[in-house]
Structure 1
């Protein structure tokens, strides 16, 4: 998998973020029967201030959030609870771009503390969650949320992360 990671907040360095992103992304794609080697993803590991600015620019919400995602294409399913139109990588072609994910260290760390979870597990969940958005999954309806949460739980279990829900 071709993953471009930009670490703007050095606090992420202590978590082994590059390995965490690679493992989470590969597990997510494999769970969906997609060959990880055919895809590309960009990840920004930032602080709350940077994420708050991005959240304001793109969502009109000037506050930090744990993860933001920008899919390369709209792949959402037409029917609530249905699988999105997953991308198909082409053989002997450049990797198919999935999109961008941005993580806020301060918010992630606070949520992990408040939830009594190790930060590595919470961040892994957010990476999987952000990538799922890039693949066309969402949680706008109960049916969509149920599908996304079921898949996330299965993916996280394959990584040794307990059910976050």
Structure 2
């Protein structure tokens, strides 16, 4: 059985907070994002500190705390265009609490953000179940433990 070709990806990887740079080699970040893409993509991934994460979450979502991942999606087709903002200290704390590696948590959050960039959501019960199932399939396909089990 032939493996489906991965969608083309133009990736910009930025480290405003360089503390996790060694956990996010470009080739792995690209692999994790491509696994969740269903169309060509132009994705910027920016790793930020708690101050920038909090400021962005407050400005764009009205929530005054740093969150793990923010997705700014601009187009869904014919090219997926989005910015994924990940807050390094929040990701590290969540990985510690979940007793998983930083790599596994970043892979999950990049898959999660990439699905959001394509219009998937989890605000309603049915949507949440569908998105979690898709995330689980992709993340386990990448060789990581199911993030929801």
CA contact (8 A) 2:80 2:117 kept: no
SS in 2 for 1:72: strand
Q: What does residue 21 of structure 2 align with? A: 13
Inter-partner Cα distance in structure 2 for 1:52 and 1:9: 14
Q: How far off its partner does 1:50 sit? A: 0.8
CA distance in 1, matches of 2:93, 2:28: 19
SS of 2:135's equivalent?
Answer: helix
Cα distance in 1 between the residues matched to 2:65 and 2:25? 23
1:17–1:48 CA distance, 2 compared to 1 (3 A): farther
Instruction: State the match for 1:104 in structure 2.
Output: 87
Trace 1:82-101 onto structure 2 (pairs within 5 A).
Answer: 87-88=77-78, 96-101=79-84
Q: Write the distance in 2 (CA, Å) between the matches of 1:103 and 1:17.
A: 15
CA shift for structure 1 position 71: 0.8
Quick one: distance in 2 between partners of 1:26 and 1:134? 12
- Residue 137 of structure 1 aligns with which residue? 120
Figure out how many residues of one structure are paired with residues of the other and give that number: 140
Distance in 2 (alpha carbons) for counterparts of 1:71 and 1:153:
22
Superposed displacement of residue 97, structure 1? 4.3
Aligned ranges for residues 115-130 of structure 1 at < 5 Å? 115-130=98-113
Kindly report the root-mean-square deviation, in angstroms, between the aligned alpha carbons of the 2 structures: 1.3
Larger RCO (CA under 8 A, 6+ residues apart): 1
Calculate the TM-score normalised by the size of structure 2: 0.88
Q: Distance in 2 between matches of 1:18 and 1:8?
A: 15
Report the equivalent of 2:6.
none
Mark the runs of 5 or more structure 2 residues left unpaired by the alignment: 1-8
Report deviation, 1:49: 1.2
Name the SS of the counterpart of 2:63 in structure 1: coil
